[in-house]
Amino acid sequence: MNYTDKLENVTVLGAAGKMGSGILLLTAIEMADLSLKPENKGKHFVINAMDVSSEALHGLMKYIRAQVLKAAERKVGMLRTVYANRTDLIENSEIINQYVDDVMLLIRPSVSIEVAYHSTLIFEAIKEDPDLKVKIFSNINENNKKSPWFFTNTSSIPINEIDTKAKLGGRIIGVHFYNPPAVQKLVELIKAKTTLPELEEFVLMYAKNLKKIVVPSHDFAGFIGNGHFMRDAIYGISEAEKLAKDSSLAEGIYMINKITQDYLIRPMGIFQLIDYVGIDVCQYIMSVMNPYLPNEDLHSNLLDKMMEAGVRGGQNSDGSQKDGFLKYDKNRPVAIYDINKKQYVAIADIQAKCDDRLGTVPATIKPWKSVVGAPNKEEIFRTYFADLKNSNAFGSDLAKKYAVRSKEIGLALVNDKVAFNEKDVNTVLLTGFFHAYGPINDYLN
């Protein structure tokens, strides 16, 4: 079955979620573009948007329509060529509206898993729960006579484990999109031991059409992205707890968050990143990865305590940030949660004291926004990190230790045969986490 044939009937599981909605959007547009090609006239494309909540699916359809409209407006010139034979479409607005209708007509929202019984391709973006994924995949596989392919968006569960337990016979591959899929360029590609070669060939073509950057990872729990992020988070939490011995926990969190954002020139600090992903999600991913890590304990008592206190982080339905380790006002941190005091402490009340303890920042430091796209950023980093290396300020010492640990984590992913090479580790952090430089570098050598 060729590429187009495989995309004639698709189901997205968890379609109304953060990841599923993005995957649905990208795939529906790809299917619509294929359906409009002359050689595909007569083919009937269907994409089932399956989720457990009909209310969420209603919101999903509004979201998809709005996003397709934006996509159509960006490529109206190309669409004029596509609809060249439609004499009834004259104005740009008419062409745009027709394209939106063509995409939306492909999408069939449903709360019934049975819709997947007729699909040749299943995209899965449900809860990161190994048993649930296996249960659903087994159900579909037993009732679908078309030997469907399964593309799982898991960010931590070994693909081989799902394949074996669900008895899929190699018809599964890890296609890990980054959040949000419609914006993020990175896709991690993970093959199980028995993954059929044609699945990888299809994904590479699909990702190319979506203009994604594909990084392969060995099939080991957490893969490259979470393999680095979860350990980076554990280290950050540990460092904040150490600082709390001489100050409050809120002050420790503030200092480490500032170190990881400002001193290491990242888009956000490590605690802000944990909040963005979700404290609950991070805790669960660590619990999934931990059984596969006999020589380390990827677990945080502080995350457990935050969950017990009902502080979870994550995003609201409108994309705004929920309160987590940090409290947010218009997505800007304004306070920090102190689990020992069970309350938020205003950043304004501790900032001066903490900044004084961190000491003077090297004068060559620059914010992430001004560096990430700079053509001379390599020169900027070498100058700044040389100054950081020569600085004896407390904050500089914390930053140097953090950078060294981040590099150690990256190198271990290669040595432990999770990543194929150092470049892949850096690419994941550069594209998936929007870092301005890769963790494996020689800036502090």
Q: Would you place residue 316 in the very low, low, confident or very high pLDDT band (cuts 50, 70, 90)?
A: confident
Determine the average pLDDT of the residues in 333-341: 95
Determine the average pLDDT of the residues in 307-313: 96
**Same domain flag for 314 and 379:** yes
> Does residue 277 form part of some domain?
yes
**Same domain flag for 243 and 353:** yes
**Same domain flag for 171 and 238:** no
Read off the pLDDT of residues 158-212 as tens digits, 9 standing for 90 and up.
Answer: 999 999 999 999 999 999 999 999 999 999 999 999 999 999 999 999 999 999 9
**Same domain flag for 235 and 159:** no
Read off the pLDDT of residues 106-149 as tens digits, 9 standing for 90 and up.
Answer: 999 999 999 999 999 999 999 999 999 999 999 999 999 999 99
> Does residue 163 form part of some domain?
yes
Determine the average pLDDT of the residues in 363-378: 97
Q: Is the pLDDT of residue 355 over 80?
A: yes
Domain span at residue 288? 225-432
**Same domain flag for 185 and 263:** no
Read off the pLDDT of residues 36-55 as tens digits, 9 standing for 90 and up.
Answer: 999 999 899 999 999 999 99
Please enumerate in sequence order all residues whose Cβ is within 8 A of that of 221, keeping only pairs 6 or more positions apart, or say none.
156, 157, 158, 288, 289, 291, 292, 293
Using alpha carbons, select from 227, 258, 226 the residue that is nearest to residue 240: 258
What's the CATH code of the domain at 348?
1.10.1040.10
Report the C-alpha gap between 169 and 180 in whole angstroms. Answer: 30
> Does residue 73 form part of some domain?
yes
Q: Which of 217, 250, 271 is the last residue of a domain?
A: 217
**Same domain flag for 204 and 59:** yes
**Same domain flag for 60 and 197:** yes
pLDDT, the chain, mean = 97
Check residue 379 and report its DSSP letter: H
Helix%, strand%, coil% for the chain, nearest 5: 55, 15, 35
> Does residue 381 form part of some domain?
yes
Q: Is the pLDDT of residue 151 over 70?
A: yes
Q: Give the type of residue at 170.
A: G
Using alpha carbons, select from 87, 66, 71 the residue that is nearest to residue 33: 71
Read off the pLDDT of residues 407-442 as tens digits, 9 standing for 90 and up.
Answer: 999 999 999 999 999 999 999 999 999 999 999 999
Q: Which of 184, 217, 250 is the last residue of a domain?
A: 217
pLDDT of residue 1: 61
* 334, 300 Cβ separation under 8 angstroms: no
What's the CATH code of the domain at 85?
3.40.50.720
> Does residue 437 form part of some domain?
no
> Does residue 438 form part of some domain?
no
pLDDT of residue 138: 98
**Same domain flag for 13 and 141:** yes
Read off the pLDDT of residues 394-408 as tens digits, 9 standing for 90 and up.
Answer: 999 999 999 999 999
* 425, 419 Cβ separation under 8 angstroms: yes
Question: What predicted TM-score, i.e. pTM, was given to this entire model?
Answer: 0.95
Determine the average pLDDT of the residues in 315-341: 92
Q: Can you give the C-alpha Rg of the chain in angstroms?
A: 23
Question: How many domains does the chain fold into?
Answer: 2
Read off the pLDDT of residues 198-235 as tens digits, 9 standing for 90 and up.
Answer: 999 999 999 999 999 999 999 999 999 999 999 999 99
Report the C-alpha gap between 167 and 211 in whole angstroms. Answer: 32
Q: Is the pLDDT of residue 385 over 80?
A: yes
Q: Is the pLDDT of residue 274 over 90?
A: yes
Secondary structure of residue 204 in the 3-state scheme: helix
**Same domain flag for 263 and 341:** yes
Q: State both tokens at 30.
A: 């790809």
> Does residue 82 form part of some domain?
yes
Q: Which of 217, 238, 268 is the last residue of a domain?
A: 217
Report the C-alpha gap between 50 and 112 in whole angstroms. Answer: 7
Q: State both tokens at 292.
A: 């596969």
H or E stretch covering 114: none
Report the C-alpha gap between 206 and 204 in whole angstroms. Answer: 5
**Same domain flag for 256 and 386:** yes
> Does residue 181 form part of some domain?
yes
**Same domain flag for 312 and 211:** no
**Same domain flag for 168 and 284:** no
